[in-house]
Structure 1
Amino acid sequence: MSTVAARLGVSPERLWGLSVVAILVALVGGSLAFPRVVYDGFIWHYFWGPVQADANSAVCAIRPDGVTQYLDSAAACAAAAEPVAYPGYTLVSEIGYMVTLIVALTGVVFLLRRLDIGDEPRFFFALIPFMFFGGAFRVIEDVNDASAAADTLITYPVNTLVISPVIYVTVFVITLVAVVASVTAERNGLVDDYVKPLFAAGVGVLALSLLYLLWAGVSGINGATFYPQVLVVILVGSTVAAAITWVLVERFAPEVNLGTGLIGLVIIWGHAVDGVANVIGLDWMTAIGAGPNLVAKHPVNQAVVDFTAATLPAGVLAITGDAWPFLLVKLVAATLVVWVFDDRIFEDSPRYAILLLIAVLAVGLGPGTRDMLRATFGV
């Protein structure tokens, strides 16, 4: 972007802002000029419709004649005319969110540059509680959805703020407010280091979320329960998996982690949490006495499960389950990403490198925390 901005004679920040405005104008203008094609067929179908369906606990949402309707029957959804939006993600939406993430990260880099922070590993570690908070916050909505409409704690449309992917925006805004407030406190002499109140803010919002979930589980609010063995098994399993991966990397390919150091281990562990949470949740809940097995929420997870089920004999699947390759995929992918972040990347753009590593950890630890706690509290 810097090279393009130099050729155009504008600053990178201004070019980024103009690009975002141009994209928004195209989407809004297209929605107004061609509502059925641009809004109904693309924006609503792949992005907003799934959120609406999830927020209203519907099997799917449809949009005949530009009016959203919710269906509670899988057969009715299958027979409905497109666009039909189901709760969860699609390959189109995941690609869209990936592009949005890259654009957003670039904007955050410009903000951190203005604030003159975010180029040291301690900024990465200070934000870890917010990643746990994002997953825990999403489980609050799972508890909310488990109740009858009249008894819900958070009703539509407010509950869309805690449903994926909108919850990422919600958590981002909360985190951004904490970052700006912490930096302001440091520069006004209220604290000696902005990292301390930033970390404390993350721990605070995480603690509030966990206390509510624990209260709901112990009290049986909206059918929630509490299976502490799930939490123990997932945390121990992910720690063991990350430790084994780390030892293998350090012994056979130490160059993989020369650039990231301890951050690399944290990233591998965060994605191990996601992998083990899926393995336990999808295959072994009944085996550890923690209620029925869960259902895969993401297309990639489901694709791995489907591939394993179609490839391995039934006798083997009865012993191993069909979700275990997802853990291997997560560990390998996390290790490869860590390998990409060598010393040169940190020398060229330390803020962007740190921010990308934060995003890499968040997309593993956030969903992993959600799956872990959802299984732990039986919702």
Structure 2
Amino acid sequence: MASKKNFSRNFHLMNLHNKLYIRTLINLIMQIYLGIMDIIEKYYLDPIRYGTGYNVVNTLTYAVILIIVAALLLKLIIKLKIKIDKKFIFALLPFMIFGGTTRALVDGEILPHTPLLITPGIYFTIAILTLCCIAIGLFLRRKYDFNRILLFSGSILAGVNIILVVINIETIKPLLITSGLVLIIMMPIYLFTLKFETFLNGNLYLIAAHVFDASTTFTGIYFYNYWEQHVLPSFLIGVTGAWIMFPIKIFIVILALYIAKDIEDENVKNFLKLIIFILGIGPGTRNLSRIIMGV
């Protein structure tokens, strides 16, 4: 009888210990879950909801996503035997304009504020649309020029957005200011490349893309009281002023081109140039579209 009672008591204690262990484990899981949700709310969702701009956490996250997506796209392009050259890069220009104007139209509530049209979802949306158009181009390239198909299909997408932007224009002055700044800054660089043969020759469009982006940032901040959303540029602008974007952008692009000149694989080298081009045209288009619409 004593052993039976001891067994019952031990079994009961074991059940209590198991229940306590399970309860502790559940509480721990809930705490971890709530902690993760707090991080997501604070660093990812709240900046989108309240338009507070980027922070260090989401900036690094989006940068990692961009690098991973870029690496996967490069592998896919190489596998599909697509030649990445200047024609291909310019054929994708309408998609960059489409992406930039889409973000501006969402900011202005002209297009719906959905996860697929805001950061980082917009990157996947643009990538999928571009890949669909590339697939169509590959299917038709025996009869038609592949790059022309891309240019045409992208122009349709960009054209719709441009019409929406034009309909909602409040002022054209930012366009004139930005254009003037790009011409003034690019002219001496262009004259330099005429006189000296360097790795910059043939790559001026990449510098121009980032001068365009810097010009829209300068115009928005200096003339129209906009503010920089990205972490590092916001800090530098706060310390020195919006003009700092011009030398920084030009220096970074020149440094990237200097590094890229020694890459032997032309597809890899030109893919890097494509990324540089996108990072200039996309944000610049968004900035300019927002400013002229008064968003």
Quickly name the TM-score band, shorter chain normalised.
0.7 to 0.9
The match for 1:46 is 43
The match for 1:200 is 152
How much has 1:180 moved relative to structure 2?
A: 1.4
Deviations 1:206-245 (A, max 9, x none): 111010111123xxxxxxx2x1121122123113312323
CA gap 1:112/1:265 in 2 versus in 1, 3 angstroms:
same
Structure 2 unaligned regions, length at least 5: 1-28
Counterparts of 1:248 and 1:359 in 2: how far apart (Å)?
25
Mapping of residues 175-190 of structure 1, within 5 Å: 175-186=130-141, 189=142
> Does residue 294 of structure 1 match 2:226?
yes
Counterparts of 2:280 and 2:130 in 1: how far apart (Å)?
18
The match for 1:138 is 103
- Whether contact under 8 Å (1:268, 1:334) holds in the other structure is yes
Deviations 1:267-293 (A, max 9, x none): 1001001111111110123xxxxxxx2
- Whether contact under 8 Å (2:178, 2:216) holds in the other structure is yes
Mapping of residues 172-321 of structure 1, within 5 Å: 172-186=127-141, 189=142, 191-217=143-169, 225=170, 227-248=171-192, 251=195, 254-257=197-200, 261-262=201-202, 264-285=203-224, 293-308=225-240
- Whether contact under 8 Å (2:43, 2:55) holds in the other structure is yes
The match for 2:278 is 362
**AA partner of residue 108 (structure 1):** L
SS at match of 1:297: coil
Counterparts of 1:325 and 1:298 in 2: how far apart (Å)?
14
Which of these residues, 243, 253, 256, is aligned with residue 324 of structure 1? 243
Counterparts of 2:272 and 2:89 in 1: how far apart (Å)?
10
Which of these residues, 119, 135, 138, is aligned with residue 84 of structure 2? 119
Counterparts of 1:324 and 1:195 in 2: how far apart (Å)?
37
Larger Rg: 2
Q: Which moved more, 1:201-210 or 1:111-120?
A: 111-120
Which of these residues, 316, 319, 339, is aligned with residue 258 of structure 2? 339
Counterparts of 2:57 and 2:190 in 1: how far apart (Å)?
34
Structure 1 unaligned regions, length at least 5: 1-30, 59-85, 145-151, 218-224, 286-292, 309-321
Counterparts of 1:299 and 1:92 in 2: how far apart (Å)?
10
**AA partner of residue 294 (structure 2):** G
The match for 1:10 is none
Counterparts of 1:336 and 1:374 in 2: how far apart (Å)?
30
SS at match of 1:255: coil
Deviations 1:248-305 (A, max 9, x none): 45656x4332xxx42x2111001001111111110123xxxxxxx2122222231122
Counterparts of 2:87 and 2:45 in 1: how far apart (Å)?
36
How much has 1:49 moved relative to structure 2?
A: 4.1
**AA partner of residue 293 (structure 2):** F
SS at match of 1:256: coil
Counterparts of 1:329 and 1:275 in 2: how far apart (Å)?
9
How much has 1:32 moved relative to structure 2?
A: 8.8
SS at match of 2:278: helix
**AA partner of residue 107 (structure 2):** D
Q: In angstroms, what is the RMSD of aligned CA positions?
A: 2.3
Mapping of residues 77-96 of structure 1, within 5 Å: 87-96=52-61
- Whether contact under 8 Å (1:124, 1:358) holds in the other structure is yes
Which of these residues, 109, 120, 130, is aligned with residue 165 of structure 1? 120
- Whether contact under 8 Å (2:105, 2:111) holds in the other structure is no
SS at match of 2:199: helix
CA gap 1:211/1:250 in 2 versus in 1, 3 angstroms:
same
**AA partner of residue 325 (structure 1):** I
- Whether contact under 8 Å (2:102, 2:111) holds in the other structure is no
- Aligned residue-pair number: 267
Counterparts of 2:33 and 2:189 in 1: how far apart (Å)?
50
- Whether contact under 8 Å (2:260, 2:272) holds in the other structure is no
Counterparts of 2:30 and 2:85 in 1: how far apart (Å)?
44
- Whether contact under 8 Å (1:255, 1:339) holds in the other structure is no
The match for 1:350 is 266
How much has 1:363 moved relative to structure 2?
A: 1.4
How much has 1:367 moved relative to structure 2?
A: 0.8
